[in-house]
Each structure stands twice: as C-alpha cells, then as structure tokens.
Structure 1
Amino acid sequence: MSQGYAIELYFDPALENQVLKAWNVLARRQISTQLIEIESRPHITLFSSPIIEPAKLESIIKSSASKQEPLPLSFSTIGSFCNDNNALFLAPTPSVSLLQFQSMLCEAIKKEGIDLAEEYRAENWIPYCAVAQEVPKTRMAEAFCVLRELKLPVSGYAMDIGLVEYSPVREQFSFALGNSVEA
C-alpha cells in the first residue's frame, strides 16, 4: 500500500452522501471495499506527493482556501483509468473555476520549491472522485452497471480543502473554502 500526502477537496454533505452511497453499494456487493477500509473520505485530489513536510503546505492551503468560494461540482461521467489498479471514478464536468483553483494551488506549491508530479501539472490534471479501487477484472462490468444506477449527474459543492497522510487516510488539517477559519 502506498504512503504519502495528498491535498484533497471535500464536498458538501449531500454530495458526499451520494458518493458514499456508491461506495456502500459496491461494498455490499463485495465488488470493492478498499476506500472504506483505508478510511478515505469522498474527495477530488488536487496534489499528491510521497514525501512532503505538512507544515510547509499549511499556510499555502489556508491562503488558497481563504481566496476561493465554494466550487460548484457536477459529476456527470463514470470512468476508469487504464492501469493495474482497476479503479472506477466519477468525473466532474470541468469548470474554469475548478481548473483555475487547482492550477493556482500548484503554482503556490511550486514557489515553495516542491516538485509537482506530471499528473498534477495544470495541463495534465484530471479531476475525479474515486468510487472503487482494486476491482477484480471479472467484476468491472458489474461495477459500471452499479454506478450507472446513481442517476447522474450528481451535483453539489466543494466546501473544504485538507491535507491527508495515507494510507490509511489521516487528516492533518482542513480549511473551509471562502473562510480563513479551520474546518
């Protein structure tokens, strides 16, 4: 299991519950339980690194959160990456505000001398919310069918941003968007 840190964007309670519903249905059907087991929370990853000093990121994240109002999100697509992880995700309809926020955050991280992995550079970043990992290949079609029952799009807002250590997931700190007070 991999180790590292990630900056995650969290949803309003109603949107979070829609994603948790998908996780729970997949778990009940014994298709995928990993996200529940590692104690993750529904999110979009904005940045991740295997090695980082959390204290270096706290002021960047707090400042970014205070400058950004909650972001509207509409998950309209079910997808899967072509890798051995057999992960399924919900993808939001990309919005200028979401893409600009991630880009601004990563620029601030780069200014601190922290390297960005290719996948988090603005021109490569793909926003998504994981709903299943390590799905057996023989059950991928069934997992897609389960997710199609979600009646997409599911919409809501990104309300908070936080830093987590993984795995298992342990939140280091989080801040509400549009507010300089800790969430």
Structure 2
Amino acid sequence: MSQGFAIELYFDPALENQVLKAWNVLARRQISTQLIEIESRPHITLFSTPFLEPTKVESIVKNFASKQEPLALSLSSIGSLPSDNNILFLGPAPSISLLQFQSQLCEAMRKEGIEIGEEYRLGSWIPHCAVAQEVPKARMAEAFCVLRDLKLPVSGYAIDIGLVEFSPVRELFSFVLGNTVEA
C-alpha cells in the first residue's frame, strides 16, 4: 500500500554517483541501508503528499519541466533533519535558482487545486539530498564523521524531474528539464 507520493529532482550521472558513494560507504559500515533497500534514487524532494492523483500531476510536471533548464547544484554541507527518522543529508549550496524552481513548481500545482503542505511552502522548504535514514541515535556522530570524509562540495546538475510512489520507491514518470520527451 502506498505511503505517499513525491516529486523529485534528479541529478546528472556524475553527481548521482557521488551521492551513491555516500550511500554505499554508510551501508558498508552498517550505519544505514534504508535508501538502498527502498530502491530510492539520489534526489532532492520538491514536494510530497500522502494523497495525489498521478494522472492530474503528470501534465503539470511535464509542462513545468519543458520550460526549465538543467539546474546547477553544489552539494556542499552535511546536515540532519529534526525528525524521528534520523535522516542525514547533503545540502545544496543555497541558490535563488533552486528556490525559485521549487516555488514555481508548487505554484503551478496550487493553480491546479493541489494543496501544498507547510513544509514545502516558500520560507519553510529545506532542500536536501538524503544520504541516510533511520540512523541509530548511537551512531549519528559516526555517520557524520563518515560523511565529513567525503570531498565536498560535489557539483553537477539537476537534469530531470519525476513523480514517485513510496515505499518501496516506484517511479511513475519523469521528464528531462527543457525537453518535452519523457526520460
């Protein structure tokens, strides 16, 4: 049974591989394998909700993606979200272009009657790329140390956007930015 839906921003292969390295190091150390187990893909979540009509969202996302260009990203910080899931992430360097991208997507969805939750509204959204979930509290410091050994920043581009259902993660569709053809 679906736990929800998310619109995710995906990276070029080189940046994706840098994030996968972090996932694999944490898995080898037996700190966290959750993202690998749910078959996720490195991404930044732009929007998430428990209920959604995928066919309604598909045209919104396709139209939105066709008007966007690949987005330069630099994952330059390590952080943790204040939640029960003990999530560790790589944070993108703040940029007006990333904030505008997410804000414009949410505005396009709002115009179509899709409610935007508080955590994805302008001023509340925290862009991040999860590298570990459900990290045992006793191993958080170790996980931070492992991530600090990564050579940050890692830079690249966000090149496509997709809708997934979770968990496990199942991609329903994706579109290349600046292109009207499906990825």
TM-score, with structure 2 as normaliser:
0.98
> 1:143 corresponds to which residue?
143
CA deviations 1:96-119 (Å, max 9, x no partner) are: 111111101000111111111100
- Cα deviation for residue 122 of structure 1 reads 1.4
Between the aligned residues of both structures, percent identity stands at 80
CA deviations 1:96-148 (Å, max 9, x no partner) are: 11111110100011111111110000121110000000000110011001101
- The letter of the residue matching 1:143 is A
Deviates more, 1:1-10 or 1:108-117: 1-10
> 2:121 corresponds to which residue?
121
> 1:43 corresponds to which residue?
43
Quick one: distance in 2 between partners of 1:83 and 1:107?
Answer: 26
- The letter of the residue matching 1:25 is V
Quick one: distance in 2 between partners of 1:100 and 1:83?
Answer: 26
Gaps of 5+ in 1: none
- Cα deviation for residue 2 of structure 1 reads 7.3
Alignment partner of 1:5 is 2:13: no
- The letter of the residue matching 2:30 is Q
Quick one: distance in 1 between partners of 2:69 and 2:81?
Answer: 30
Gaps of 5+ in 2: none
Q: Secondary structure at the match of 1:45?
A: strand
Alignment partner of 1:24 is 2:32: no
> 1:172 corresponds to which residue?
172
- Cα deviation for residue 95 of structure 1 reads 1.1
Alignment partner of 1:68 is 2:57: no
- Cα deviation for residue 151 of structure 1 reads 1.1
Q: Secondary structure at the match of 2:35?
A: helix
- The letter of the residue matching 1:155 is S
- Using a 3 Å threshold, how does the CA distance of structure 1 residues 2 and 85 change in structure 2: closer, same or farther? farther
> 2:162 corresponds to which residue?
162
> 1:52 corresponds to which residue?
52
Q: CA RMSD in A?
A: 1.1
Quick one: distance in 2 between partners of 1:164 and 1:77?
Answer: 26
- Cα deviation for residue 83 of structure 1 reads 1.8
TM-score, with structure 1 as normaliser:
0.98
Task: Work out whether residues 2 and 165 of structure 2, in 8 Å CA contact, stay in contact via their aligned partners in 1.
Answer: no
- Cα deviation for residue 4 of structure 1 reads 0.5
Quick one: distance in 2 between partners of 1:68 and 1:34?
Answer: 31
Quick one: distance in 1 between partners of 2:91 and 2:162?
Answer: 20
